[in-house]
Structure 1
Amino acid sequence: MLRLIACFLYMGGYLVWSMPKLSKVKKLPADLELGERKRRIFETPKNWSKTFLALTGSQVEVQGLNNIPKGPVLFASNHEGDFDIPVLIGAIDKPFGFISKIEVKKVPILSSWMEAIDCIFIDRKNREKAADSIFTGVDLLTKGNSLLIFPEGTRSKGGPVGRFKAGGFRLAKDSGVPIVPISVTGTADVFEKNGRLVKPAKIKVIISEPIYSWQYKDKDLIAIADDVRDKILRSRDEKRIAS
């Protein structure tokens, strides 16, 4: 219970404390080089995520950082639990935004930071608005930004990796950026499996080799989704055998 209270107090306190930094990043010069702009904006969420995870007492092992290519990419990860986002923000050096449900946009300060790192809020109940969100994501990727999607669409809570929904891979198909598959294990052990209390866990992040546009351009979205899921599952099996 104490870890849960510490995590939520830290989250709320950090958001309030970060407001001056949020104001500063909103005023960054328009002519600032994109990579430097993203680095400066992403610095605060990254510092938050590392301390937040430290409060849980968890250990995070990251493999395959060298597999992330230069330039914009579409990260595609399985979705174990609520702690996936802070784990990935802390683990991945390349700044990225992510796809989030529209309801999160109502959370003050947090939603502003998410907008600052170019997250996309998607309304799954409205197909027309959801399609507009995909167009926005394609535009961001084309302009050099990276994005993260959770193709399962919901948390597995530590269960088997679900079937990947194909729609999010339209982002890669229409922009031509590499897809970087990511396996996350152990985050559900922090929260979801504990009656929604926070406990220490061993978390593993495995970043697989990218799938480039020339490898997927002639495939339909369902085939791409299946390929990415298979690659994530294989990376887990290889890790298990190596251990």
Structure 2
Amino acid sequence: MFNTIRTFSFLFGYLPISAVNLKKNIKQKSTLSVKEYDQLIHTEPQKWAAGIMKRTKSTVTIAGLDKLPDGPVLFVSNHEGNFDIPTLLSTIPKPFGFISKKEVNKFPIIPMYMKEMNCVFLDRTDRRSALKSITDTIEKLKEGHSILIFPEGTRSKGQSMGEFKAGFMRIAKDADVPILPVAIHGTSDIMEKNNNKVKAATVTVQLLDPVSVDVLKDMKPKEAIAVIHTQIEEAVSAMSAEKQRNNDN
């Protein structure tokens, strides 16, 4: 219970501080390039996310940072738990926004940052909103920003990965950016598997080989989706097996 209290106290308690820094950073927007401003804005969410993960007392490791390409990229990740975003924000140095459900707009300050991070809000009950989120994401990628998407659409909570919705493939092709598959394992051990109480966990992230648009265009959509899904699924399975071996030793 103590981990839960300290984690959520920091989650919301840091927001007033970050709001002050956000206002300072926004004033510099007109003097910076897209890349420079994205990096500046990324600093506060990264501190916030790192603080959250520290207070869960979880161990987080990431591999494959050498695979990060220059320029905008569409990160495509499996979605295991509520701590996926803090995990990825705190470990991936490349700034990125992400597609988020519209309910997040009800939180204080967080939506202000998400707007500057180039996040896209989605109403999953409205088909027109879903289509608009695709076109908005394409536009942000064309502007030079990187975006993260969870094509399962919902958390697996540590169970088998769900099917990938096809929207991410259209986004990558129309925006003409590579896909960087991301495998994440262990975040559901922090909360989802503990009756929503925060507990320390071992979390691993693996950045896989980027897939270029030229490769995607040579495949049929279903084939391309299956390739990305399989890459991530196999990586998650390997991380799970490695974790089990470590637990047995």
TM over 0.5: same fold? yes
Length-normalised TM-score, structure 2: 0.93
Which residues of 2 match residues 3-42 of structure 1 at below 5 A? 3-42=3-42
Contact in 2 for aligned 1:42/1:117 (Cα 8 Å): yes
Q: 1:162 to 1:106 in 2, by over 3 A?
A: same
User: Which deviates the most, 176-185 or 118-127?
Assistant: 118-127
> Counterpart in 1 of 2:170?
170
1:132-178 deviation per Cα after TM superposition (whole angstroms, max 9, x unaligned): 22111111101110000001100000111111111232210111100
Contact in 1 for aligned 2:64/2:206 (Cα 8 Å): yes
> Counterpart in 2 of 1:235?
235
Contact in 2 for aligned 1:102/1:123 (Cα 8 Å): yes
Secondary structure of 1:165's partner?
Answer: coil
Q: Tell me how far apart the structure 2 counterparts of residues 189 and 108 of structure 1 sit (CA, whole Å).
A: 27
Q: Tell me how far apart the structure 2 counterparts of residues 160 and 96 of structure 1 sit (CA, whole Å).
A: 26
Structure 1 residue 87 and structure 2 residue 48: aligned? no
> Counterpart in 1 of 2:186?
186
Q: 1:236 to 1:26 in 2, by over 3 A?
A: same
Contact in 2 for aligned 1:166/1:224 (Cα 8 Å): no
Structure 1 residue 205 and structure 2 residue 205: aligned? yes
| AA at the equivalent of 2:6 | A
Contact in 2 for aligned 1:75/1:149 (Cα 8 Å): yes
> Counterpart in 1 of 2:67?
67
Give 1:237 deviation, angstroms. Answer: 4.5
Q: Tell me how far apart the structure 2 counterparts of residues 111 and 135 of structure 1 sit (CA, whole Å).
A: 20
Q: Tell me how far apart the structure 2 counterparts of residues 236 and 104 of structure 1 sit (CA, whole Å).
A: 28
RMSD between aligned residues: 1.6
Q: 1:85 to 1:173 in 2, by over 3 A?
A: same
Which residues of 2 match residues 111-150 of structure 1 at below 5 A? 111-150=111-150
> Counterpart in 1 of 2:215?
215
| AA at the equivalent of 2:209 | E
Secondary structure of 2:14's partner?
Answer: helix
Report sequence identity in percent.
41
